[in-house]
Homo-oligomer: A and B are copies of this chain.
Amino acid sequence: MTNFKSLLENYKVIFFDAYGVIKTYNGLIPGIKKTFQWLNEQQKAYYIITNDASRSPELLATAYREFGLDIITPDKIISSGMLAKEFLDLKVKKGLVAYLGTENSAHYIEHPGLQTLPLTEMNEDNINDITALVLLDDEGFEWMDGLNKAVNLLRRRTIPAIIANPDGAYPLSKRDVRIAIGGLAWMIEKITGKKFIRFGKPDSQIFMFAWEYIIKLNPGITKKDILVVGDTLHTDILGGNKFGLDTVLVLTGNLLPEDYETRIFSSGIAPTYVCDSAVIEKDLIN
């Protein structure tokens, strides 16, 4: 167990996971605001690297602001949805992009030259105009209709299929989870035999995207100056390690103090460090 504050001293850029590190289903992690204030004072750079493609960075930042964390501005947020957006720009360019998700999530596929279509509105008249399928969020559509349409679209058309949140499930309460869009994608892949292009941790492309973004703003930075903070071995830690970054596991989300060692051993995924939380001064009121 390492002290989080003393660990931060050794790095110039910190990549934070959002869920389980900064916030949970209950709201902000108590005391986390102080961490960001201190980072600001120390002129250390920090970014939120998130698989949450349900809303734009602007809306994600608004949610933090409503919690009192106005220090996390949209330019500090790198979401897997931004990689989906770049992919559509480079590889799809035109036509009708069908999506599963809410209207808010469709932000990532709005692009000059592209029209968007909620997949549930697909029909025999427009199916042949669809040039890509993007899975953004588990909300915003009726599952039976949307999932069957996704299967039949991919059976009939050879188009890129993108999933911007590869997580299988996410916590809904202390006890229960909810199936995420990444979990729904597994089923569609298995039934159709076609693979989604997955953006988001543990795939290292999101770290590469972040890396290219920050080297412009923080010239001279090397990979050794970056610390990844996460609560999940299979996404944050695995992806950060693979990209060559130092990683720290915090125990405020997915893993409990009593079982993190077993989980590290059974998965073989080892963070560089373990800290109880990403909070630097616990005795202070948030």
Contacts and interface: CB of A to CB of B under 8 A. Distances in A.
B187 A179 contact: yes
A264 B142 CA distance: 30
Contacts of A242: 87, 197, 205
Which interface residue of A138, A186, A203, A205 has the most chain B CB atoms within 10 A? A205
Contacts of A270: 158-160
Contact of A179 (B147, B175, B177): B147
A51 to B, nearest CB: 16
Which interface residue of A156, A158, A223 has the most chain B CB atoms within 10 A? A158
Interface in A129-161: 138, 142-144, 147-148, 151-152, 154-156, 158-161
Contacts of A266: 193
B91 A241 contact: yes
A107 to B, nearest CB: 19
Contact of A161 (B143, B187, B268): B268
A192 interface: yes
Indicate the size class of the contact surface on chain A: 35 or more
Given A91-B244, A184-B187, A241-B160, A268 B195 contact: yes
A186 B184 CA distance: 10
Interface string A36-67: 00000000000000000000000000000000
A191 interface: yes
Interface string A82-125: 00001101110000000000000000000000000000000000
A6 interface: no
A144 B147 CA distance: 11
A203 B243 CA distance: 12
Given A143-B144, A168-B190, A179-B191, A268 B154 contact: yes
Nearest to A259: B262
A188 to B, nearest CB: 8
A244 B87 contact: yes
A79 interface: no
23 contacts: A90-B223, A90-B224, A91-B272, A138-B144, A142-B143, A142-B144, A143-B143, A143-B144, A147-B179, A148-B179, A158-B265, A159-B268, A160-B270, A179-B191, A183-B187, A183-B190, A187-B187, A194-B267, A195-B267, A195-B268, A203-B203, A205-B208, A208-B208
**Closest CB pairs A-B (n = 5):** A194-B268, A90-B244, A143-B143, A187-B187, A208-B208
Interface of A: 86-87, 89-91, 138, 142-144, 147-148, 151-152, 154-156, 158-161, 168-169, 175-179, 183-184, 186-187, 190-195, 197, 203-205, 208, 223-224, 238, 241-245, 264-270, 272
